[in-house]
Amino acid sequence: MVARGPLCVGIDPHPGLLSAWDLPLSAAGVERFARTVVEAVGPSVAAVKPQSAFFEVFGSAGIAVLERVLADCRDVGTLSVLDAKRGDIGSTMAAYATAYLTGDGPLAADSLTVSPFLGFGSLAPAVEAALASGRGLFVLALTSNPEGPQVQHAVDESGRTVAATIAAQAAEINVGADPLGSIGLVVGATIGSTDVDLAAVNGPLLAPGLGAQGATAEDLQRVFGDARRNVLATSSRDVLQHGPSVGGLRDAAARVVEQVRAAVGS
């Protein structure tokens, strides 16, 4: 983030974008799309974020494409955030951790989005795998979808929200880490103000919602306040709409990087 700026480019090959790029709605189309994005922006942005669902929809062929995209990320030296939002318990969570967060397997990523809503403790296998392998997690906490507050703003008997509890548990793991711990949060850039102490998390804050979803670079200041230097803002359509030109994608990413840098002061 220091060297390349606080931007993560989402790789979301949904049907509308494939059509706009004049690509077929197929595993081959998704591969051309995703690998072009990595080629264009991988060497110059902090991270890219493949959305696993858009690959899974094509079955084994799509998963094979995702494997090649993750390999491309390693080859060009950009971090991968695999957006799979995995959440389970026991041996099943351990299997997810093995698949995504250990060794050099075909689906191994630098970080993984996970859901804590079976209880933060259910993430223990993923937390342990991330810490042991030098990888990271982004734990859903304050998401940008309108349905999120029903769960995330619910309060316990002490009056603390679910989101605040998630943040506190991530902070416990990150205590003493310098500059940041391995357990980050997903906090939408469109949520407005929050009373959750995001700076105390001492971890990276993945911030979706920039651009087409309505958030501006200035919203990053309002939402994240003193934690804004820990923000890794995500942008998808604002960059991807400039494809399939490699130069167009690269230039668009560079513009967004500068906007985010100005907003967070990095």
The pLDDT of residue 220: 83
Computed on alpha carbons and rounded to an integer, the radius of gyration of the chain in Å comes to 18
Q: Which two structure tokens, joined as six digits, stand for 107?
A: 């689906």
- The tens digit of pLDDT for each residue in 99-108 reads 999 998 999 9
- The tens digit of pLDDT for each residue in 147-191 reads 999 999 999 999 999 999 999 999 999 999 999 999 999 999 989
Burial of 158 (0-12, 13-18, 19+ CB in 10 A): exposed
How high does pLDDT run on average in the chain? 95
- 7-264 belongs to which CATH class? alpha beta
The pLDDT of residue 265: 79
pLDDT band, residue 192 (cuts 50/70/90): confident
Identify whether 49 is a catalytic site residue: no
| Catalytic residue selected from 14, 85, 229, 261 | 85
The pLDDT of residue 110: 98
pLDDT band, residue 222 (cuts 50/70/90): confident
Higher local confidence (pLDDT), 214 or 38: 38
The candidate with the shortest Cα–Cα distance to 162, out of 102, 200, 116, 131, is 116
Cα–Cα distance for residue pair 251/248, rounded to 1 Å = 5
Assess whether pLDDT exceeds 90 at residue 263.
Answer: no
Show me where the domains of the chain are located.
7-264
The pLDDT of residue 215: 78
pLDDT band, residue 214 (cuts 50/70/90): confident
The pLDDT of residue 210: 77
Instruction: Find out whether 137 and 184 touch, Cβ atoms under 8 Å.
Output: yes
Give the DSSP per-residue string, 88-134: --HHHHHHHHHHHHSTT-TT--SEEEE--TT-GGGGHHHHHHHHHHT
Mean pLDDT of 106-131: 98
Instruction: Find out whether 204 and 173 touch, Cβ atoms under 8 Å.
Output: no
The pLDDT of residue 212: 65
What does each C-alpha distance from 234 to 120, 125, 166 come to in angstroms? 24, 26, 21
Residue with token string 């060009």: 76
Cα–Cα distance for residue pair 213/215, rounded to 1 Å = 6
Determine the straight-line distance between the first and last CA of the chain, rounded to whole angstroms. Answer: 9
- The tens digit of pLDDT for each residue in 62-93 reads 999 999 999 999 999 999 999 999 999 999 99
Mean pLDDT of 181-208: 95
